[in-house]
Structure formats: C-alpha cells, structure tokens
Chain A
Amino acid sequence: MFSLSLVEHTLRLPPHLLSLPLEKAVKHELDELFLDKVVPKLGLCVSVYEIKNITGGFIFPGDGAPTYTVKCRLVIFRPFVGEIIDAKLKDYDENGLRLSLGFFDDIYVPSILLPSPSNFKPDPENKNRRRWVWEYGDANDGEQTSGDRFPIEEIGETIRFRVQSINYPSIPLEQPNNSKPFAPMVITGSLDNDGLGPISWWE
C-alpha cells in the first residue's frame, strides 16, 4: 500500500521561517507542500520520511527568500494492481460501491466488478432503500432456487477488495457548480473473487 519515493525539489523558504533551524524550516515547507496531496503518477503523499540533503541557499535578485534544492524521501500511498486492501463501506448506489480508508476516500467498485451475480434489490427491512445482494446460486442451475443471498448491508462495514486499477484524471478546466469535488486519484476495486467482499462473509 505504501512505498518510499526519492524526490528532488527546489523550494523557496519564506522569510518568516528564517529564524528556525534550517532543517525544521525546510521540513515545515515540505509538509505544507506535499502532505495529503496527490502527485500524478506517484500517489498520495502521506508523510516526509527523511530529508537526505539540502543544498543551495541562493537568494535571487529582488527576492527576500533563499531558494534551496532539497532531496527527500516521501512515504507515498500507492497500492499496486492486484493488492488486497481492507476498507470501510462509505456509500453505495446503483452504479456500485464507494469505499473509504479514512485518509483516502476515492475507491469505487463499479457494479460490473461485484461478485456475479449481484443485484440491487429492495431491502426487505426498509422498503425505501435498495441494497446490493450477492446471489450465490448453483452454476449449473439457471434459476437460483437453491442459492444463498449475501447482502452488503451497512455503511461502515469492512470490505476486502482487490485493486483493479489506479487512475489519475487530469484537472478539469471548468467544473459545473454542483458536481462532486475533483478527485485527483481514483482507485477502482474489484470484489469478484473468493475471499473478497465484506469480511463477515468469509469468517
């Protein structure tokens, strides 16, 4: 899920940090720059692991701040394709499920990647809602007479999924006002395998 990345960055140290020891000031700037931000093709930056070296310190004409070139290692959240991850169910609708890791929310399981056959059925307990139900029927039997039904019920349930792909959509130039906030990193997950789905199914 996580990996280290070696990154080199040229950063300008604002004058109000000049009284702090150099490493602390640089770390503060790096934190502000990278933490909780997605770097395209790299992943979500979780933490600054270590600062390898700081060089430079040149002051460009007309600027009050020194510019340093910093080499550092960052802890990046970037699952590999095929990785198995446990996440909590955040939301679901007729298109599929949305899962969350607390620090990362844009994990989608589209309806085609749910265990087949699955249906979005009216909830027998609560007539207003519908929910996803996995109908585990006999493969030879066209009708699911002897099948078991496994519902995906609660928001907050822990679901084990396999990473199908990771996309970094490019920043849109314009967004209509009511649309969802732009997600720079989207993970598509799959539940279509033995052992995947809510962990309560398999224990």
Chain B
Amino acid sequence: MKILKANDGPLTNFEVLDYLRSRGVSKEVAVTVAASEYKVFQYLVETPAYSQTRENVTNFVRNVKKYDLSKAEVINLINIRPSLPVGIYLMVEKCDARLGETIAEQLAEAVTECLPPPPAQPENQDVQESDALAGGDPEGNDEPDEPEPEAVRENLGDIDEKAEDDNLMGVS
C-alpha cells in the first residue's frame, strides 16, 4: 500500500457525521455501515456536531475570518463549541497577545450565535452506553464479517448455476 497524500484535507466532526448520515446511518438504523463506523457515529452524536448544519459551519467560518485564527483553531472551535471565554483561551494560542479579553468574549458570543448548542444528554444513559461499548470492543472487529458472508453465499448459488465446468464445484 502506498500513501499518496497523508493529509488530503482535515474534516470537522460535522463533516464526518454528515458523511455517515449520507451512508444511511441514524440512531435507529445501524446496518448500512460496519460496526466500527457505527461506533464513530455514536460518539459524534453526543458532540455539538450533531446539531450543526452545513450553513452553520460555513457561516461561522466566514464570521471568524476577521479574527485571523489558524485552521486548527477554527476546527477546534467548531468541534467543541466553547460557550465561555475560558474555552476560547484554551483553543487560541497566545490569546492575550493576539486577541485580548474583550475580543475573546466577542468570539465566544460569535460561537454561541452561529453554532447551535450540543444536544442535551441524559447522563445515566451515557454511562451505561459507554460501558457497553467498552465491553464490546474486542468483538468489534468480528461483527462486520457477519452480514457479509450471507450476501456472498447467496451469490455463490448464482455461480453454481452459471458454472459450465462441473468439476470445479463439488455439487451435483
């Protein structure tokens, strides 16, 4: 295997969630993708990315252009969506020198305005789910194999009918 381009473009959590949704995954439906992909979906559903839309994100990027932030900082802001200035200080390097307190507050307001708040989480459920996920991990790699062989076995039936050379198949 050759890596042609290790970094062909960073993705925000929202974009990955959008891609998984386009594959047909939702909270109820999990069969269209592999188990490991569904685990990623389950993680993303609890982040602010779940309630974001493409317009929100493009709007936000446009609004923060004037603050002169690096790409990594903008991605951090979109993924975590800090509502308090303490979060802004955390994500923007040398915040005091570059922005200063008032501008950091303005940025926090811009974040809360443009990006919707994360989904409210019922805490007990999360603890049980995460325990179940942690327990299920060693088997995670085995699960994707289960639905696939069935589909393939049906097709093998087709091969039997089409095969002209009966010596290859043990049947008949």
Contacts and interface: CB of A to CB of B under 8 A. Distances in A.
Interface of A: 1-10, 16-20, 28, 31-32, 35-36, 39, 41-42, 46-47, 49, 71, 73, 75, 77, 80, 82-86, 88, 90, 100-103, 105, 154-156, 158, 160, 162, 181, 193-196, 202-203
A8 B13 contact: no
18 contacts: A7-B4, A16-B152, A16-B155, A19-B159, A32-B144, A36-B141, A42-B6, A71-B4, A82-B72, A84-B79, A84-B91, A86-B80, A90-B130, A102-B130, A103-B43, A154-B127, A194-B86, A195-B82
A4 B1 contact: no
Contacts of A154: 127
B12 to A, nearest CB: 8
Contact of A7 (B2, B130, B152): B2
B158 interface: yes
A195 B89 contact: yes
Contacts of A9: 1-2
Contacts of B76: 83-84
Interface string B80-96: 10101011011101000
B19 interface: yes
Interface in B83-113: 84, 86-87, 89-91, 93
Given A160-B80, A202-B86, A2 B10 contact: yes
Interface stretch (B33-41, B51-59, B61-69): B33-41
A154 B72 CA distance: 31
Contacts of A3: 7-11
Contacts of B126: 88, 156, 158
Interface of B: 1-13, 15-16, 19-20, 33-34, 36-37, 39-40, 42-43, 47, 72, 75-76, 79-80, 82, 84, 86-87, 89-91, 93, 126-127, 130-131, 133-134, 137-138, 140-141, 144-145, 148, 152, 155-156, 158-159
Contacts of B12: 2
A102 B43 contact: yes
A97 B98 CA distance: 33
A28 B43 contact: no
